[in-house]
Structure 1
Amino acid sequence: MKQYLLTSLFFIVSLTCWSQVTIDDCQNKAKANYPLIKEYDLISKSLDYTISNANKAWLPQMSVTGIGGYLIKGLPTVTMPNGQTSEKNDGIFIGIAQINQNIWDGGATKTQKNIAKANAEVDKASTDVAFHTIKERVNQLYFGILVVDEQLNQLQILNENLNRNLKSVQLSKDNGLGYQSDVDEIKAEILSLEQKKIEFSFTRKGYVEMLSYMIGEPLKEDVQLQKPIAVENYASLTNNRPELSLFANQTKLAETASSIDKVSLMPKIGLLGAGIFVTPGMSLGSSEVNSLAVAGLSMSWNTSGLYKWNNNKELEKIKKERINNQQDAFLFTNNLQLEQAANEIEKQKTILLKDDEIVALKEKIKKAYQLKKDNGMCSMNDLITAINKESEARSNKALHNVQLLMSLYNYKTIKGN
């Protein structure tokens, strides 16, 4: 029986822990649910096709051209002695077939593949930046629910306190030692408390519905959220914002793209095969030439890149400077946000140092008024005021605890962690 009870208790505790939702789960599910998640797969597929196309530059390239027409001046003919003159025919068809096989393209194919990869990294980094906004939105909803939960917990404690006093006052009134007005005051305060609970409950319901929509899963109204672990050494966190990765990849893309200028200065070498067919052919006495085949090496060199070299280098430098300026502007704003978040953390810590003392004093004051009321030395309204002030102090302490946790997590998010 003892073993059964322990097993049941372990199961209940495990089920409770398992049913709690964590902020990391919500962020991962929100990312998976956001339509932009498909962008990663599309970027990967696009890169595969682009590289595949670049690799096809090494396949033999074949071209076939056919020309049919009328000769204004015929092809020359050569008649050997005692040879028969060929019949004149001004209609002609020329067929040309050519096949080329690259041996060395000056690094053009390799550069095109590197540019495709760099472009893909830039696209992925841009998508990561978009997802960071989703992460911030999930944080706001998640901590919004935690704040409401703390307020509801404190209202429940206050409600229990008021109900205990209601029973006591009702008993005194029934015994002829109390007043109906005291009972009515507590009942009115309890009704006011119920209104606040209704307001907070609907606020929580709205937050839960929005969070459920973002993660793509239904959440119960009473879903329990697990408090994230506080990051005490927040100042030592490394800045992992996706924007920094985007700027780095943009710079890499600019450098990779500039290498195409070097490629344009290189000659291209390959194998060449060509065949020409002419009908009617060119008569050489007793024989007729109507086809020709050529094979060998080919080399082409376009020198137009020489004229643009200096300008392209300056354009590359300007592009990289613009990226650096954008990164400096982002870091300026990001550091400002981190300073504000750090100040908020220190403010919450300082406020919390006073909360324990305030709660202790308010509890002491409430107990004093309770004693006075029991001895008929103060009104019920005075006692209710003292009870409310103690509840407010406890509520503020709970709220400040969550706000400190939220500030710590906000700092962590601003720094991309």
Structure 2
Amino acid sequence: MRKLNLLKYIGILFFINVTSAQTLTIDQSYQLAVENYPLIKQYELIEKSKEYTISNANKAYLPQVSITAIEGYVFGDFPTMGNSGNDSKFKFIGLGQVNQVIWDGGATKTQKKIIEASSNVDKASVEVSLYELRSRVNQLYFGMLLIDERLKQLEIQNTILRNNIDKVNKLHENGLNYKTDVDEMKVEQLNLNRQKKDFQYTRNGYQTMLSYLIGKNIGQSKLEKPVNPIAFDTLIKRPEQLRFANQRNLVTAQADMQKVNLMPKVGLLGAGVVLAPGINLGNNKISTVGVAGLSVGWDIKGLYKNSNEKELTKQQLNQIDIQEETFLFNTRFQMNQKTADIERQTAILKDDDDIVKLRQTIREGYQLKYDTGAGPLIDLLNATEKEGNARAEKALHEIQLLMTAYEYQTIKGN
């Protein structure tokens, strides 16, 4: 008994998974588009590059060893102490030096800050590019929803015509109607089928593009009609804002490096010299000299440029401020445009229900007149077409309002 219940439970889960797999939402489309876009791989490359660069920066505190060997002709008098017994002008000179940094003025720490800030700027730029995919998804997704609604309305009109054709055929068989009425309705039905084919081919094109964009075949998937987001707040949350903030951090970190360049550098120094033939100190054929101690270096040329560097930093930060201000201005301008569109579309949509109801009542009236022989077929066909157009316009306005609402959310950053 338990085994049967378990199998039943597994079967229910399988059914749920299959059913959910056949439904695609707008949020799933956003996510799949990002995951499928090749630029997403850039994140990993940026992170690896940062790790390697920081690792190199950390090696600045490792001992630095340099060795130089020279074999050559010595010009001029080489210092000696007495007669060396070797007057050769050809000598071997070996130079060796070991430096161990004790304090680099904060250069390594600041360099790592610059690397981190630069990496964050690159990541934010990738995020901006990926966010732009939402607009493409909106166009394709809502375009398909609109076509689906139009196909539904065409099917309603087709059903009305099909029912009338059946009625007229029966009347014609009993000699109570003209065959031309049947032909007129069939022509209208063919016109509907032609429109249906046009919409289906257009939808197939949208479907192919959306499948390619999200990396998933959605041929058997049903698009879920999203809920209209009622709240339209004006708070902007775009990835561009994070990029501007990271750009400021990068400029600030680079300015800190200018301060570091004004600091002295302290380290331990060890150096040695080998000469062969050596300086005469007896019977030595090789002379060696060594030195070890504390080294201090201070390059003051940065002092001459310090004031100019500070001004350049201010100018760079001002440029970023202007760029962000311009971006926010243009974003708010687009939001105002979409807000006006939403208000206009909402006002239009309020009358659509009444228009559809009236068109349906008018068509039913002409249907009754035609059925009783009190009205011509052309009136019924015109009324049927106008009702179909009213339904199509209502569906169009609904999807347009929904799409505009999601475009508003995309512009401000949801």
TM band (smaller chain): over 0.9
Q: Secondary structure at the match of 2:67?
A: strand
Q: Secondary structure at the match of 1:218?
A: coil
| 1:183 positional shift | 1.2
Q: Secondary structure at the match of 1:294?
A: strand
Corresponding position of 1:385: 382
2:211 maps to 1:212? yes
CA gap of 1:376–1:13, structure 2 versus 1, over 3 A, is farther
Within 5 A, what are the aligned runs for 1:3-402? 15-79=18-82, 86-220=85-219, 223-236=221-234, 238-285=235-282, 290-402=287-399
- 8 Å Cα contact 1:74/1:90 also seen in 2: no
CA gap of 1:350–1:285, structure 2 versus 1, over 3 A, is same
| Residues matched between the structures, number | 409
- 8 Å Cα contact 2:54/2:112 also seen in 1: yes
- 8 Å Cα contact 1:21/1:225 also seen in 2: yes
Q: Secondary structure at the match of 1:239?
A: coil
TM-score norm. by structure 1 comes to 0.92
What letter is aligned with 1:49?
Y
| 1:411 positional shift | 0.5
Deviations 1:321-340 (A, max 9, x none): 11111111111111111011
CA gap of 1:71–1:13, structure 2 versus 1, over 3 A, is closer
Percent sequence identity is 47
How many Å separate the matches in 2 of 1:36 and 1:199?
35
What letter is aligned with 1:223?
S
| 1:70 positional shift | 2.6
What letter is aligned with 1:257?
Q
CA gap of 1:389–1:87, structure 2 versus 1, over 3 A, is closer
| 1:42 positional shift | 1.2
- 8 Å Cα contact 2:98/2:269 also seen in 1: yes
- 8 Å Cα contact 2:84/2:279 also seen in 1: no
The answer for unaligned runs of 5 or more in structure 2 is none
Deviations 1:98-136 (A, max 9, x none): 000111000111111111111111111111121122221
How many Å separate the matches in 1 of 2:169 and 2:328?
64
Deviates more, 1:314-323 or 1:23-32: 23-32
TM-score norm. by structure 2 comes to 0.93
CA gap of 1:378–1:5, structure 2 versus 1, over 3 A, is farther
Deviates more, 1:366-375 or 1:278-287: 278-287
Q: CA RMSD in A?
A: 2.3
Deviations 1:213-252 (A, max 9, x none): 11222231x531111222110225x322121111111111
Deviations 1:30-87 (A, max 9, x none): 22222212211111111111111111111100001122223334433334xxxx8644
| 1:308 positional shift | 0.4
How many Å separate the matches in 2 of 1:103 and 1:361?
89
CA gap of 1:254–1:13, structure 2 versus 1, over 3 A, is closer
Q: Secondary structure at the match of 1:331?
A: helix
What letter is aligned with 1:403?
Q
| 1:10 positional shift | 9.3
Q: Secondary structure at the match of 1:230?
A: coil
How many Å separate the matches in 2 of 1:8 and 1:283?
99
